[in-house]
Structure 1
Amino acid sequence: MKILITGASGFIGSFIVEEALRRGFETWAGVRGSSSRSYLGDPRIHFIELDFSSEDRLAQALDGHNFDYVVHAAGVTKCLTASDFMKVNYQGTVNLVNAILKTKMSMRRFIYLSSLSVFGAIREEQPYQEITEHDTPRPNTAYGKSKLKAEQFLDSIGNEFNYIVLRPTGVYGPREKDYFLMAKSIKQHVDFSVGFQRQDITFVYVQDVVQAVFLALDHGMSGRKYFLSDGNVYQSSTFSDYLHEELGKPWWIRVKAPIWVLRLVTFFGEHIGRMRHTITALNNDKFNILKQRNWRCDIEPACDELGYHPHYDLRKGVTESVAWYKENHWL
């Protein structure tokens, strides 16, 4: 079987590539010309450069290939402007799918990596209830809106295009850079959290996302959308508590600030980032993500229809992640 993984140089994409090789696929890594290949050193990997800004250039790159499966993991989680999210996450998906259709490849299935963020802050009344596939998405971030629009495009194509959408909650693990910042801060003796209202958080370890990707290649019905988490619900302090333990319990100061402080920090962070033309983690999207109180989601359909069963709870995942960060001198 021949598989194409877009965003192959990224955090999730690079793990999907490794699993495809382990399973014996003829594995093609879709990358940009400027992409780092530091996690793509296996000589069995075939590379293909993809320009998602152009449907025609994508069609030219794909012409002559017949991929059995395409896993679309390419995308951005941080951008300077909301329009950049749309260009990459939405229009890039449109261009790729149209290019695949134009080349008339006999693809068995297309897997799209979306996000729980397409739903935004819903079911926020306590006691919090799981977000389900029957809820109406109301994304409150530019990222979530771009992912939802890509999903809606896939829904509009028709029966001739076989696809499944995966909606993971917060994905963490080795090589991940955003949650890593929390570990780095704790090592530097500061833990920062916001809001005084209860916050229910969910996580999924990167290897469990990979598990779901390969289950979805041949399980589930076309057009279905599945939430992914580890099946547990955590409080806002649990992740930092586990990081603190794995780092040897350094002395620390736990700072809990009201939401308005976060609003100020992210407002000025985004403004300064635009002035300097640099992408920052402290932006308006991050404000809406951090202030959201309910991240519960229903993974029962993924378990029943895909055969998905999480192998990592947060404790085990954090242990492996911190060990990797130490081994690779990130911490």
Structure 2
Amino acid sequence: MIDYLVGYGCTIHALVRKTSDQRWLNKSDQVKIHVVDLEQSSPISCLEKADYLFHCAGLTKAKTRDDYFCGNVYSCEVLYERCVAIGSNLKAIVHLSSLAAAGPSAQGEAVQEKNPCKPVTYYGESKLAGEKIALKYSSLLPIVIIRPPVVYGPREENFFVYLKTLSQGWNIKIGTTRRELSLVYVTDIVRAMVRAAVCYPKNEKIYYVTDGEHHIWNDISDSAMKILNVRAKTLFIPEVLLRFLSSISEVLAWFGPKPALFDRQRVIDICQTSW
């Protein structure tokens, strides 16, 4: 997002946590870094003169449901309350949510904005709750919500791990069920967010953004192996084994400061048949 906007000559004020990984942040003079703690009551002065706000922060891994809600709901409330308090003249606020807020669909059917939301994980529940906060403030602030599916591209880590495993000769599949999913390239989601801000839609508040294609996981792995020029061996992992391993990973994580990279919530996510 920042690289894209810098390319158009914009001045960026990036709000980051003190624990944020800043290795990919553009070092251009156009980018101003502000370390912000939303748990404190101090004002965020750079919001006063901003034209657009892109709220991309979110917590994707946590130990408890409460942790997810603290990171994905409470932070929204505080940020938007600050915007109201300073009487900001923002032209648009783009709230980046997730397809997880709506939950998976039936196989062969695409989710629609009008469909009821049925999240299946704590992460999805917290993102939906964050959307409700955004909608609550939309009567006072020009907020539009974007729901992307799986995002792939440079600097994305989860998909990279899968590709790395393929390159090492292993094509890991969960069970034998056909799995479908939606995808969007990172630059495309950035372009969609900028377009939503500049052409702020006043009627509809929530939009899905995908590449417009219907993907089958087997086709994705076949295409990836062709590009990587490898013939990986297929390793089927039963869902029951996956749940067992995730439980062990989760228990071990309780003895450390960070949440498990692979826990039962993650298993619920990846075992769905149609994202």
TM-score, length of structure 1 as denominator length: 0.78
State whether structure 2 residue 86 is matched by structure 1 residue 100: no
One-letter amino acid of the structure 2 residue matched with residue 90 of structure 1? V
Q: What is the aligned partner in structure 2 of residue 45 from structure 1?
A: 31
Asked if 2 retains the 8 angstrom alpha-carbon contact of 1:111 and 1:217, the reply is yes
SS in structure 2 of the partner of residue 29 of structure 1: strand
Residue identity in the other structure for 1:67: A
Matches of 2:137 and 2:48 in 1, distance apart?
22
> Are residues 1:29 and 2:34 paired?
no
Question: Cα distance, 1:277 vs. partner?
Answer: 3.1
Please say if 1:66 is aligned against 2:49.
Answer: yes
SS in 2 for 1:143: helix
Task: After the TM superposition, list the runs of 4 or more consecutive aligned residues in structure 1 that deviate by more than 3 angstroms.
Answer: none
Q: Residue deviations 1:89-112, cap 9 Å, x none? A: 110111100011111111111100
From 140, 154, 159, the counterpart of 2:120: 140
Secondary structure of the residue aligned to 2:234 is strand
Aligned identity (percent) is: 23
Q: SS where residue 78 of structure 1 aligns?
A: coil
- Of residues 218, 233, 237, the one that matches 2:218 is 237
Aligned to 2:152: 172
Query: In structure 2, do the counterparts of structure 1 residues 151 and 223 end up closer, same or farther at CA, with 3 Å as the change threshold?
Result: farther
Note the C-alpha offset of 1:116: 0.5
Counterpart in 2 of 1:83?
66
Aligned partners of 2:95 and 2:134 also within 8 Å = no
Preserved contact between residue 164 and residue 222 of structure 1 (Cα < 8 Å): no
1:157 to partner: Cα distance:
2.5
CA 1:188–1:64 in structure 2 vs 1: closer, same or farther (change >3 Å)? closer
CA contact (8 A) 1:90 1:150 kept: yes
Report the alpha carbon displacement of residue 265 of structure 1 after superposing the two structures with TM.
2.0
- CA deviations on 1:254-293 (whole Å, 9 max, x unpaired) are 1122322222222222222223333333112211111111
Q: Specify whether residues 241 and 164 from structure 1 end up closer, same or farther in structure 2 by C-alpha distance, changes over 3 A only.
A: same
CA contact (8 A) 1:165 1:223 kept: no
- State the aligned residue count: 273
Task: Letter of the 1:232 partner, please give it.
Answer: E
* 1:63 and 1:103 in contact (8 A); partners too: no
Aligned to 1:248: 229
Q: Which amino acid in the other structure matches residue 31 of structure 2?
A: I
**SS in structure 2 at match of 1:135:** coil
Corresponding residue number in structure 1 for 2:191: 211
**Runs of 5+ unmatched residues, structure 1:** 1-15, 296-331
- Of 255-264 and 96-105, the range deviating more from structure 2: 255-264
Instruction: Give SS of 2:155's match.
Output: coil
Whole-angstrom distance in 2 between the partners of 1:64 and 1:247: 45
Query: Following TM superposition, by how much is the alpha carbon of 1:223 offset from its aligned partner in structure 2, in angstroms?
Result: 5.3
Pairing partner for 1:119 from 99, 102, 106: 102
Give the counterpart letter for 2:118 in structure 1.
R
* Equivalence map 1:293-312=2 (5 Å): 293-295=273-275
1:288-327 equivalences in 2 (<5 Å): 288-295=268-275
> What is the aligned-residue RMSD (CA, Å)?
1.8
Q: Which amino acid aligns with 1:44?
A: Q
Deviation at 1:158, TM superposition (A): 4.8
Pair 216,19 (structure 1): closer, same or farther in 2 beyond 3 Å: same
Tell me the equivalent position of 2:267. Answer: 287
Evaluate the alpha carbon distance shift between residue 44 and residue 285 of structure 1 in structure 2; reply closer, same or farther with a 3 A threshold.
same
The equivalent residue for 2:173 is 193
2:209 matched residue in structure 1: 228
Contact 1:169 1:204 in 2 (8 A): yes
Moved more, 213-222 or 144-153: 213-222
Query: Is the contact made by 1:116 and 1:167 (CA closer than 8 Å) also made in structure 2?
Result: yes
Which amino acid counterpart does residue 112 of structure 1 have in structure 2? H
Residue 128 of structure 2 aligns to a residue whose secondary structure is helix
Contact 1:52–1:88 under 8 Å retained in 2: no
Do the aligned partners of 2:44 and 2:82 also contact (CA within 8 Å) in 1?
no
1:20 counterpart = 2:1? no
